[in-house]
Structure 1
């Protein structure tokens, strides 16, 4: 569905047509609630245009469970324990849209949403609308973070962020500095390393996870033990868990752990956390050893949790030793002379910032993050969907965004019924 409709009055507007927006649309259709989904690009745009060529999910295919759309039965998925590649993810979302025909307005940018008496005024590239209720389903990762010190890089050095990286061949010949070791940074560094590029990697504080342990994929153990069912209000870290960086691991080659120490043993140069750039020299914090140790502590912590679950339930599973480091830094290099090292490219992989400047409603905290409980905000009729740890670990993922959408659909239906009865 494209272009404006004749009636700009909407019971419900959904901002964003990714997996979150599509999930709430499915539930609203089941409830017979009229709505429109505003998508500034097209179906699966971010997966299609903001991921590198070898990208694949780090969560197994059986965790892809959008509402009313089973990976195996409805999509014809042949490998539930595999990890979808980028093109397959695009096909998955395209097939999902075809399965229920959501009222999707593609190519329509939402420029402003303003809370007014009786609902919300919505200004778009296709005209103005008014909605009684609004769901913000744009997720929490909007703008790649690039430090201001990047302005001091020598002009001949190509610099891009993780969203712009596609493959090693797009970069000029020479060594590459990758900054950040979240999921994107660790996987991009590996992609370059496997292509034979000389890689320098600034190691951040992201934790890491085993892929397979004691005979099973770790996500299976965590599912059976109930970890993925823990809600935010039950989590020992409460709301601070939303600030945690995702564990780095990979779905590549059938799924595997990522060990930065092994990269170093194979010739990759590791540094501590990026600090600044001055006169063609990059400066790093003296925390390489600490960051590697903490990532390994997280890895072993997951192993310990699985051990405890196996023991408590009397499960027959093969024994497996805990991780032992394969490499230790003998020194911690604190600087990198870009010219001397032959650095031709820098890839920034240090995370994303939220951008809700277009939303005029008193629902944000001092850091600009939405204040919400399971997606319900203090402003009547305004909701968020698809945020990290909105309710559970899987809230911002294919795994559980549908469960969050089901909850919000019920809240929307209650609000609609109460308004009609008033």
Structure 2
């Protein structure tokens, strides 16, 4: 049977070793014409998409990855120059790949991560369609139609692996500030030399915010940081890296509770850590000692003024309690397993006692010309025409499976476990989802699904 040429032509893939095989498939009257087909389409070719691709390849499930840019695009273009992973190299575990370099306790920079992902992709010839933007996803004919700027696909199953760091989540108070202030997100920042002259206010004190505040201050600028809820931890504790202890004691493997509030989970701040060669700690105490002004939560703005909450002391006390609960859990693991680890009582105190600055601040009088909003990210699914979004615009899912048959998601905060957005954690989530996808396809490997 002959089909139209638009159905049988090969998609414009890029060095995938011929693994993309969109066989022509018949279109019955009334069906939506498409150019290509695959059993599974994975949207996104970062660590989440590649991990899923590896798992499906291992199970023999036909699939393709559609990527708006290049493999690991956000690591290439949306990270600042000096950024390093917060986890040591040995924790960059992906399905079928363990770290094999000569610096297991070091921290990869963005170039290293891109090389890691490229090497991983090539190792199993992941079928990636690069530089292809998804325009629309909708249900069609018992599966899904994925419209892109390089042709339309039909797939019986889809995995949304576009990640957690999508669009900057910037508070609405920015609209009340004078247009003389330059507003940036961490994804816009490259280095201090590219900033306008003058002081900088960093809003948000998770890992990104504190690292940027310190780097910009060291460039010779006046810097202030606004902080609300945060988690302060030491870089090393009782002779090991803190992330190693978190891995050993099961903290990173904590499973998501069925009754958990997804919005509360999404708002959990990242640990105040920095991946540095000298393995140093970073937090509000260190920033304050360097001369960085620590302010409370930004709650209001008007023209050139910004208002900060008066609960900084309360937030710091809560952060200290979180730190101590975390260290107590590590101590309990050490005791239960009889591991030898030297005591470290100094790590139990954050060392920062705020003087509780609050009220209105005149940004112009302080010489602040730039605000960096390190206030997290939201996901933009405006291209998705499948009714699986909650009232906040996030994908409702149960451990990665949505209510729409055959539609899955990977790489969201605390999706299955606390480490679901980590390179290591996303791989384990992919290993769980792959057999479920195979079962949805009635593939023999679906019998592996729990």
Fold shared, TM-score > 0.5 on shorter chain:
yes
Aligned pair 1:39/2:48, yes or no? Answer: no
The alpha-carbon deviation at position 128 of structure 1 amounts to: 1.5
Q: 2:124 aligns with which of 91, 100, 104?
A: 100
Q: Write out aligned runs for 1:176-215 (5 A).
A: 176-215=200-239
1:360 and 2:360 equivalent? Answer: no
Query: Is the contact made by 1:178 and 1:347 (CA closer than 8 Å) also made in structure 2?
Result: yes
Q: Retained in 2: the 8 A contact 1:134–1:381?
A: yes
Matched ranges for 1:118-267 at <5 A: 118-233=142-257, 240-267=264-291
CA 1:155 to 1:226, structure 2 compared with 1: closer, same or farther past 3 Å? Answer: closer
CA gap of 1:223–1:116, structure 2 versus 1, over 3 A, is: same
Displacement of 1:114? 0.4
* Partner in structure 1 of residue 435 of structure 2: 410
Aligned CA distance change for structure 1 residues 12 and 333 (closer, same or farther; 3 Å): same
> What corresponds to 1:317 in structure 2?
341
**Residues 58 and 255, structure 1, Cα contact 8 Å, conserved in 2:** no
Aligned: 1:378 with 2:399? no
- Aligned equivalents of 2:102, 2:401: Cα separation in 1: 37
For these two proteins, the number of residue pairs brought into alignment is 416
Secondary structure, counterpart of 1:37 in structure 2? strand
Residue 88 (1) aligns with residue 112 (2)? yes
TM-score by length of 1: 0.93
Give the whole-Å Cα distance in 2 for the aligned partners of 1:279 and 1:52. Answer: 29
**How much has 1:331 moved relative to structure 2?**
4.3
| Partner in structure 1 of residue 79 of structure 2 | 51
Deviation at 1:141, TM superposition (A): 2.7
With normalisation by structure 2, the TM-score equals 0.87
Q: Which whole-Å CA distance do the structure 1 matches of 2:385 and 2:40 have between them?
A: 17
Q: Secondary structure of 1:229's partner?
A: coil
Summarize the Cα distance change of 1:376–1:331 in structure 2 as closer, same or farther, 3 Å threshold. Answer: closer
Q: Structure 2 matches for 1:243-322, cutoff 5 A?
A: 243-321=267-345, 322=347
| Structure 1 residue runs without a partner (length 5+) | none
Q: Deviations over 1:305-358 (max 9, x none)?
A: 222222233333211114335342334232211111111211111111111121
- Decide which of 3, 15, 27 is 2:12's aligned counterpart: 3
Alpha-carbon shift at residue 65 of structure 1 (Å): 0.8
Deviation, structure 1 residue 203: 0.8
Indicate yes or no: 2:39 matched with 1:15: no
Seen in structure 2, the aligned counterparts of structure 1 residues 315 and 113 have a Cα distance that, compared at 3 Å, is same
Tell me the CA shift for residue 14 of structure 1: 0.7
- 1:412 is paired with a residue of what secondary structure? helix
Superposition RMSD on alpha carbons, in Å?
2.3
Q: Distance in 1 between matches of 2:190 and 2:423?
A: 23
Deviation track 1:213-265 (CA, whole Å, cap 9, x = no partner) reads 1111122222222223332248x967554542222211123433222123113
Deviations 1:258-316 (A, max 9, x none): 22123113211111101122131111111221222222222222222222222233333
Q: What is the alpha-carbon distance in structure 1 between the residues aligned to residue 113 and residue 190 of structure 2?
A: 16
Residue 24 of structure 1: aligned partner: 52
Separation in 2, partners of 1:216, 1:177: 34
Residue 306 of structure 2 contacts residue 360 of structure 2 at CA under 8 Å; is this kept in 1? yes
Alpha-carbon separation, structure 2, partners of 1:98 and 1:418: 25
CA shift for structure 1 position 15: 0.6
Partner of 2:420: 395
Q: CA–CA distance in 1 between the matches of 2:162 and 2:356?
A: 43
Say which of 370, 375, 386 aligns to 1:350.
Answer: 375
Task: Name the CA shift for 1:36/1:266 in 2 (closer, same or farther; >3 Å).
Answer: same
- Provide the secondary structure at the position in 2 that maps to 1:253: coil
In structure 2, the partner of 1:336 is: 361
Q: Which moves more between the two structures, 126-135 or 188-197?
A: 188-197
Q: Aligned partners of 2:369 and 2:281: how far apart in 1?
A: 29
**Separation (CA, whole Å) in 2 of partners of 1:108 and 1:350:** 29
Once the 2 structures are TM-superposed, how far is the Cα of residue 58 of structure 1 from its aligned partner?
Answer: 0.4
Task: Note the C-alpha offset of 1:6.
Answer: 6.8
| TM-aligned CA deviation for residue 394 of structure 1 | 2.0
CA contact (8 A) 2:38 2:64 kept: yes
Q: Residues 2 and 98 of structure 1: is their aligned pair in 2 closer, same or farther, counting only changes over 3 Å?
A: farther
CA distance in 1, matches of 2:228, 2:356: 17
Distance 1:384 1:282 in 2: 38
